[in-house]
Structure 1
Amino acid sequence: MILENFEELNSGQKNMFAKTCLRLLQTGFLARDKRDNKDMYYFLISYKKYFDEYFSIMNYEINLDRENGAVQLVHQDNSNVLRLNKEETVILLILRILYHQHLSDTSINDNIIISINELHEYYDSLELKKKINKTDLVKILRMYKKYNIIEPIGDITKSNSKIIIFPTVLLAINTSVINDVYDLVSRIEPTQGSEDDEEVN
């Protein structure tokens, strides 16, 4: 077993292993291009067999998207699925759509960057009866920052501020077909006061 060789790691490597495991358990995602994720991302790649064996004991598996620089920790019986309310779900779907829309205009080495105002405008274009207010939007964006889906640039409370959307959004929504995402958005009923929860991996 690989973990039998764990003692061969030096103290710095052991600390990084523990730090990376904890971050994955807390957030479920690592983004290569997120400043405080980069070292953990590359460490995980270098010692992935250690992580695979460690997490398999707890019935977790690691999804690694090397091309886009994203990692997802998934429990095999979906016990770590995050329950989202309707507004949180809509924002996540919009982030996925805007990521796709900006991808063709962005260099392969550049991050996808949008304005918070652009996000708000897309939400309004859906013509849902219940509009999202600034306070709720900021709260949702802070949550997705915690889960390594986005990174605000500047003051997140200002509509002209920018946010980076990381490729982890591709793993957060369980489909690789963008038309499926558009379909999910189109099926959101414009009824006020619905608090149905959605599941997101």
Structure 2
Amino acid sequence: MWVEEYEKLSSSEKEEFRRLVNLLLSRTFIIRDIYDAKEGMMRVNPEYRFIERNFALFSEYLWYSGWALYKDSQYGVIALVNSYEYNRVRLDRNTTIILFILRLIFEEEREKVTLRKEVLTSTGQVIHKMLTLGLVKKKPSDRDITEALHQLAYYNIIQKLEGKWEEPDNKLLILPSILFVVTNEKISRIYETLGEEEDSNQELNGAEEQDVIRGEVEQ
């Protein structure tokens, strides 16, 4: 039973367990390799290691509440999924498009770099690809860009290394958790949906995009 394993923890470890359970419920993903701004380099996330060491305890505890915990050691991702498909986060159209573009960039760059699980990009590259693929007719506002990227960073899908969110030459790290949000099977489906909603937008004479489509991040 998870209670027996929990009682074996020290007082500080029990507090860390409680904190990380709440962090998982809030952020969905915990990533092993993260960028340390102070050190200016990638390092192993101690939160990931703590959960990894006590994975059975976390899994059993969360299972009683209807959550399934998954660990992918290859990509260094711990993910929490609701067994009843509740507690989903809905994304507006702009954020859905940016998420889709980030996934495409991740796939393209991953083919070039085999030693890293993360991919480096920039807001400028994301916007350029959005325009090139015809998913938007003009560059989104700085506010929309910032809100979308900030939300994706909150769920540990990307990490900002330097610059402001809206700056075209900033540095964004696309984390491997994006593979679990937008799977290979979902890529074509999302693209088709975005195209259909663009046609619908034209027919509705400029209806608000975020009222037309909802993307989903499963928790």
Please tell me the root mean square deviation across aligned C-alpha atoms, in Å: 1.9
Secondary structure in structure 1 of the residue aligned to 2:33: coil
Q: C-alpha separation between the residues in 2 aligned to 1:110 and 1:47? A: 24
Q: Unpaired runs of 5+ in structure 1?
A: none
Instruction: String of CA shifts for 1:68-88, please: whole Å, max 9, x gaps.
Output: 011111111111211111111
Letter of the 2:148 partner, please give it. I
Q: C-alpha separation between the residues in 2 aligned to 1:76 and 1:183? A: 23
| Equivalent residue runs for 1:139-150 within 5 Å | 139-150=147-158
Secondary structure in structure 2 of the residue aligned to 1:188: helix
Q: Does the CA contact (< 8 Å) of 2:29 and 2:177 recur in 1?
A: yes
Aligned twin of 1:133? 141
User: Post-superposition shift, 1:25?
Assistant: 0.9
Query: Once superposed, which parts of structure 1, at least 4 consecutive aligned residues long, lie more than 3 Å away?
Result: none
Aligned twin of 1:198? 215
Aligned twin of 1:172? 181
Instruction: Between 9-18 and 79-88, report the one with greater CA deviation.
Output: 9-18
What is the count of residue pairs matched by the alignment?
Answer: 198
Letter of the 2:25 partner, please give it. L
User: Post-superposition shift, 1:129?
Assistant: 3.9
User: Post-superposition shift, 1:2?
Assistant: 2.9
User: Post-superposition shift, 1:3?
Assistant: 2.1
Q: Does the CA contact (< 8 Å) of 1:84 and 1:199 recur in 2?
A: yes
Instruction: String of CA shifts for 1:157-184, please: whole Å, max 9, x gaps.
Output: 31100100001111112x244xx41442
Q: C-alpha separation between the residues in 2 aligned to 1:73 and 1:110? A: 20
User: Post-superposition shift, 1:130?
Assistant: 6.2
Work out which of the residue numbers 83, 91, 99 in structure 2 matches 1:76.
83
Aligned twin of 2:94? 87
Q: C-alpha separation between the residues in 1 aligned to 2:214 and 2:120? A: 28
Q: Unpaired runs of 5+ in structure 2?
A: 37-43
Q: Does the CA contact (< 8 Å) of 1:29 and 1:148 recur in 2?
A: yes
Q: Does the CA contact (< 8 Å) of 1:34 and 1:148 recur in 2?
A: no
Aligned twin of 1:50? 57
User: Post-superposition shift, 1:186?
Assistant: 4.0
Alpha-carbon distance change, 162 to 99 in structure 1, aligned in 2, over 3 angstroms: same
Q: Does the CA contact (< 8 Å) of 2:119 and 2:175 recur in 1?
A: yes
Q: TM-score, normalized by length of structure 2?
A: 0.83
| Equivalent residue runs for 1:32-47 within 5 Å | 32-35=32-35, 38-47=45-54
Work out which of the residue numbers 135, 149, 160 in structure 2 matches 1:152.
160
Identity %: 25
User: Post-superposition shift, 1:93?
Assistant: 1.0
Letter of the 2:169 partner, please give it. N
Alpha-carbon distance change, 85 to 7 in structure 1, aligned in 2, over 3 angstroms: same
Q: Does the CA contact (< 8 Å) of 2:117 and 2:176 recur in 1?
A: no
Instruction: String of CA shifts for 1:107-143, please: whole Å, max 9, x gaps.
Output: 4246310111100101112323464222201111111
Q: C-alpha separation between the residues in 1 aligned to 2:116 and 2:144? A: 32
Q: Does the CA contact (< 8 Å) of 1:2 and 1:53 recur in 2?
A: yes
Secondary structure in structure 1 of the residue aligned to 2:30: strand
